[in-house]
Amino acid sequence: MCAAISASRSPDVVVVGAGLIGLVTAWRAARRGLAVTVVAETAEGAASPVAAGMLTPATEAAFGEEALMRFGVLSRDRYPAFVAELEDDSGLPAGYRPHGTLQVAFDADDLARLAHLSELRARLGLRTERLTGRECRRLEPMLAPAVRGGYLAPDDHSVDPRRLLSALYAAAERRGAVGVRDRVREVVLDGDRVRGVRLASGGELAAGQVVLAAGVGTPAIGGLPPGVVPPLRPVKGQLLRLRTTPGEPPLVERTVRGLVRGSPVYLVPRDDGEIVLGATQEEQGHDTRLTAGGLWEVLRDAHELVPGVSELEVAETCVGLRPGSPDNEPLLGPTAVPGLHLAAGHFRHGVLFTPATGDAMAEALTTGALPGYARRFAATRALEAVGGTGTGGDPDQWT
Amino acid sequence: MCAAISASRSPDVVVVGAGLIGLVTAWRAARRGLAVTVVAETAEGAASPVAAGMLTPATEAAFGEEALMRFGVLSRDRYPAFVAELEDDSGLPAGYRPHGTLQVAFDADDLARLAHLSELRARLGLRTERLTGRECRRLEPMLAPAVRGGYLAPDDHSVDPRRLLSALYAAAERRGAVGVRDRVREVVLDGDRVRGVRLASGGELAAGQVVLAAGVGTPAIGGLPPGVVPPLRPVKGQLLRLRTTPGEPPLVERTVRGLVRGSPVYLVPRDDGEIVLGATQEEQGHDTRLTAGGLWEVLRDAHELVPGVSELEVAETCVGLRPGSPDNEPLLGPTAVPGLHLAAGHFRHGVLFTPATGDAMAEALTTGALPGYARRFAATRALEAVGGTGTGGDPDQWT
């Protein structure tokens, strides 16, 4: 859909950002008949093309994040219909794998922490099944003999975010959205109201509504009155993509998440034999360096859990920056500036939240208000900053 | 020096291969007045541009490799004059760092193994100084507190193989050598004698003498009578190149080699802040895949020794194939085919052996015979295969 800006008609909506959140907003809004233009540049540290694509609210359930998990379950449960519509509109596969997730513990302490979380899962109504080490290895024979036990989450699936991006782009285009490769220098106001955006290449793109969905780059967009866009913390993730030798069976059949001496790690398989290993969680500003320590941490834990990863070829190493809002929850819908919306701050849940965010944003763009299930995440809510989780690991997730 | 093949004059010598061994042969032969043409293609798995560049016979001394170590010491001691001549002829820096090497032990067993090797070093007349853990950390403050002790080898230095390659190329050209980017399909014989080489692009390059210096690719060159070129084992090495943050002090001042729970690892610093971490030693045929296990092994041991590596950016990951002869010693000089020479099989000592090999080959090309110090490595010697060292580590080096 990339094209020169047409002078023929101003769009109803300009979406700034072409990650999963920007594109799903564009597609869902276009399906409701809005004329949408998406403006994006290739951003270093963009989270969407780097994400592993786990749709795993049950195995990610964390104390203090119940509201996030409920939104996650809602979004996860929309995935089958969402993927069907998306593949229909785009003609492209979304890379959805409804094969469940196995969460395992490396030692007795790890198992105790997982068991503690199972109480929370039960409270949230999330299905998981307790398994012995032997039962885990029966499901995934390549697991290390040391694995003590775990939980099968039959409803936690995965999707390939790169395929999802391509499909969303094609589907949005098929529904009439227009893409522009440029950088938005600033939002242009007319009095208190949004009038459009000014592009780095010069020129203004007029629109009655503007959605900012540029991940960690969102607060840097110019022209915004103070306080309208809260600060977003870049939370760095380092990952590796491994390649199964052609003709060899896949190393794991389903997503395997593990806790290895307190440190979380995951292996997410794709249909084409790729396995994504991840991920670090580091808070040190806008830093996209691939580091020796980041690779080492991920490889160490993955190797403990599934020693056979050692034999696989490294196809790619990547770094992405997750956008963390002050309270770690997404920022959705209208802001204090009439016509200006946010769809940002999805932190480590961007892929999971994609269907629900798309629907919520389309609703906000057509009716002016978020639907009930997304109202908690209103961009205009009072925000209190939470503490960063520090470098490495994700202790909050497990306690 | 890359140029179309000139029809004006046949060279005296064609060198097949433009790694360190091929280029040093070309340069030293050209300095003796021979007309030399170097033919090479970019080979996947080429060892020279991947090598760390340690000139460390003292800290590499291994029982059963005394002759190799003597040749290594001889070559190492030629380095200062060699580099001076090379920089003079090429006008380029060779990246020589005469800062010594610190060899350290991670635990008591590692220290016992190093102490055992010190008897061998004494017998070979190689200078090393025993240091306590505290003394090691005084020299290299970033060493882990766990380091038990080690040895300082004040005469074991390093060079940057990539700079060395560029300088050798320029120096050879300055001395009249000609480079041709092509693949040698086969050696052409005239009766029993060499007549030249046939190129993949078609055409023949006539020369009275031909030197095969194509690393692990040498035995695959066509046209050779059986038995003239012994088999060469590709011994895979996986390495990482890290980058020091600009403005930060270097992590280590000198080459640090370590034994970590029996597993060898090294950190080789460069003047520009790069640090090379290496290396695996794997025998599995012509395999140039970067693997998760290879990276993990190197990162694990480097991290144990110098935890600060974690903070450094990964600039590059690389794989090279060391050419191992049946007895792990190089194959130099005349073969059974008159006019045909070998300069191959340098295994993990190619950089160290570069000056001595260049001199020995130039001598063989001008006089027909290797000098005394290189005669043990005559390409025509009776060869007995030694066992492979297996995947991972290099146990032979330490026992």
Are B314 and A242 a contacting pair at CB < 8 A? no
Q: Which residue of A310, A316, A318 is the best one to mutate when testing the B interface, meaning the one whose CB has the most B CBs within 10 A? A: A310
Residue in B242, B293, B314 closest to A310 by CB: B293
Give Rg (Cα) of chain B.
21
Interface of B with A (CB under 8 A): 240, 242, 277, 289-296, 299-300, 302-303, 309-314, 317
CA B202, B207, B208, B213 torsion-angle sign: negative
Q: Return the pLDDT at B246.
A: 86
Q: Name every chain A residue with its beta carbon within 8 A of the beta carbon of B248.
A: none
Residue in B292, B300, B309 closest to A309 by CB: B292
Are A303 and B309 a contacting pair at CB < 8 A? no
Q: How far apart are CA A105 and CA B109, in angstroms?
A: 32
Q: For the stretch A301-310, what's the b/e string if a residue is b when 16 or more beta carbons lie within 10 angstroms of its beta carbon?
A: bbbbbbebbb
Q: How far apart are CA B390 and CA B14, in angstroms?
A: 35
For B159-192, the pLDDT digits (tens) are 999 999 999 999 999 999 999 999 999 999 999 9
Distance from the Cα of B273 to chain A's closest Cα (Å) equals: 15
Q: Name every chain B residue with its beta carbon within 8 A of the beta carbon of A302.
A: 292
Are B299 and A292 a contacting pair at CB < 8 A? yes
For B73-131, the pLDDT digits (tens) are 999 999 999 999 999 999 999 999 999 999 999 999 999 999 999 888 988 889 999 99
Q: How far apart are CA B257 and CA B158, in angstroms?
A: 12
Residue in A293, A312, A314 closest to B310 by CB: A293
Distance from the Cα of B313 to chain A's closest Cα (Å) equals: 4
Are B299 and A303 a contacting pair at CB < 8 A? no
Burial class (CB in 10 A: 0-12, 13-18, 19+), A283: middle
Are A291 and B312 a contacting pair at CB < 8 A? yes
Measured over all CA atoms, what is the biggest interatomic distance in chain A, rounded to whole angstroms? Answer: 66
In chain A, which residue's Cα lies nearest the Cα of B308? Answer: A293
Are A317 and B314 a contacting pair at CB < 8 A? yes
Phi first, then psi: what are they for B159, rounded to 5°?
A: -145, 155
The count of C-alpha atoms lying within 13 angstroms of the C-alpha of B194, restricted to the half-sphere facing its C-beta, is 29
Are A300 and B302 a contacting pair at CB < 8 A? no
Which ranges in A125-218 belong to alpha helices (H)? 133-139, 161-174
Q: How far apart are CA A277 and CA A257, in angstroms?
A: 10
- The sheet with strand A54-55 has its strands ordered as A54-55, A157-159, A96-97
Structure tokens given for B1: 């020096």
Q: Name every chain A residue with its beta carbon within 8 A of the beta carbon of B240.
A: 292
Are B300 and A302 a contacting pair at CB < 8 A? no
Distance from the Cα of A138 to chain B's closest Cα (Å) equals: 24
Q: How far apart are CA B53 and CA B350, in angstroms?
A: 9
ipTM for the assembly: 0.86
pLDDT at B399 over 60: no
- Using DSSP's 3-state secondary structure scheme, residue B299 falls into helix
Distance from the Cα of A306 to chain B's closest Cα (Å) equals: 11
Q: How far apart are CA A94 and CA B337, in angstroms?
A: 62
Q: Name every chain A residue with its beta carbon within 8 A of the beta carbon of B290.
A: 313-314
Residue in A291, A293, A299 closest to B292 by CB: A299
Q: What residues have CB less than 8 Å from A251, skipping those under 6 apart?
A: A142, A244, A267, A269, A275, A306, A308, A309, A312
Are A313 and B296 a contacting pair at CB < 8 A? no
Are B309 and A293 a contacting pair at CB < 8 A? yes
Q: Which residue of B242, B276, B296 is the best one to mutate when testing the A interface, meaning the one whose CB has the most A CBs within 10 A? A: B296
pLDDT at B288 over 60: yes
Q: Are A222 and A187 in contact (CB under 8 A)?
A: yes
pLDDT, tens digit only, all 399 positions of chain A: 544 444 457 999 999 999 999 999 999 999 999 999 999 988 888 999 999 999 999 998 888 889 999 999 999 999 999 999 999 999 999 999 999 999 999 999 999 999 999 888 988 889 999 999 999 999 999 999 999 999 999 999 999 999 999 999 999 999 999 999 999 999 999 999 999 999 999 999 999 999 999 999 999 999 999 999 999 999 999 999 999 988 889 999 999 999 999 999 999 999 999 999 999 999 989 999 999 999 999 999 999 999 999 999 999 999 999 999 999 999 999 999 999 999 999 999 999 999 999 999 999 999 999 999 999 999 999 886 664 443 333 433 433
Q: Are A218 and A210 in contact (CB under 8 A)?
A: no
Q: Name every chain A residue with its beta carbon within 8 A of the beta carbon of B299.
A: 292, 295-296, 299
For A274-323, the pLDDT digits (tens) are 999 999 999 989 999 999 999 999 999 999 999 999 999 999 999 999 99
Q: pLDDT class for B393, splitting at 50, 70, 90?
A: very low
C-alpha pair distances (Å), A170 with each of A29, A270, A319, A332, B242: 14, 21, 25, 24, 39
Q: What is the pTM of this model?
A: 0.89
C-alpha pair distances (Å), B51 with each of B46, B270, B319, B348: 9, 13, 9, 9
Q: Return the pLDDT at B384.
A: 65
Which amino acid would we find at residue B254? R
Distance from the Cα of A312 to chain B's closest Cα (Å) equals: 5
When the pLDDT of each residue in chain B is averaged and rounded to a whole number, the result is 93
pLDDT at B9 over 80: no
Residue in B292, B294, B312 closest to A292 by CB: B312
Measured over all CA atoms, what is the biggest interatomic distance in chain B, rounded to whole angstroms? Answer: 66
Residue A42 per-residue DSSP state? P
C-alpha pair distances (Å), B313 with each of A81, A113, B194, B243, B337: 42, 33, 50, 5, 50
How many residue pairs bridge chain A and chain B with CB atoms within 8 Å of each other? 69
Q: Return the pLDDT at A383.
A: 80
- The sheet with strand A184-190 has its strands ordered as A184-190, A193-199, A204-206
Q: Which residue of B248, B277, B299, B318 is the best one to mutate when testing the A interface, meaning the one whose CB has the most A CBs within 10 A? A: B299
Structure tokens given for A8: 């023929």
Q: Return the pLDDT at B376.
A: 97
pLDDT at B398 over 50: no
In chain B, which residue's Cα lies nearest the Cα of A299? Answer: B296
- Using DSSP's 3-state secondary structure scheme, residue B189 falls into strand
Closest CA to A7 of A165, A163, A204: A204
Closest CA to B113 of B103, B100, B102: B103
Number of other residues whose CB lies within 10 A of the CB of residue A113: 16
What domains can be seen in chain A, in order of their start residue? 13-48+163-232+326-397 (3.50.50.60), 101-154+233-323 (3.30.9.10)
Q: Are B246 and B313 in contact (CB under 8 A)?
A: no
CA angle A317, A167, A35 (to 5 degrees): 125
Closest CA to A58 of A135, A139, A155: A155
Q: pLDDT class for B385, splitting at 50, 70, 90?
A: low
Burial class (CB in 10 A: 0-12, 13-18, 19+), B17: buried
pLDDT at B302 over 70: yes
Which amino acid would we find at residue A125? G
Q: Return the pLDDT at A61.
A: 86
Are A291 and B313 a contacting pair at CB < 8 A? yes
CA angle A100, A159, A253 (to 5 degrees): 40
Beta bridge partner(s), residue B242: B275, B314
Q: How far apart are CA B157 and CA B352, in angstroms?
A: 10
Residue in A292, A300, A313 closest to B289 by CB: A313
Q: Return the pLDDT at B386.
A: 59
In chain A, which residue's Cα lies nearest the Cα of B310? Answer: A293
CA A113, A116, A122, A124 torsion-angle sign: negative
Q: Which phi-psi region, left, alpha or beta, contains residue B390 (left: φ > 0; alpha: ψ -120 to 50)?
A: left
In chain A, which residue's Cα lies nearest the Cα of B287? Answer: A313
Are A314 and B242 a contacting pair at CB < 8 A? no
Q: How far apart are CA A144 and CA A146, in angstroms?
A: 5
Q: Are A339 and A208 in contact (CB under 8 A)?
A: yes
Are A314 and B313 a contacting pair at CB < 8 A? no
- Using DSSP's 3-state secondary structure scheme, residue B44 falls into coil
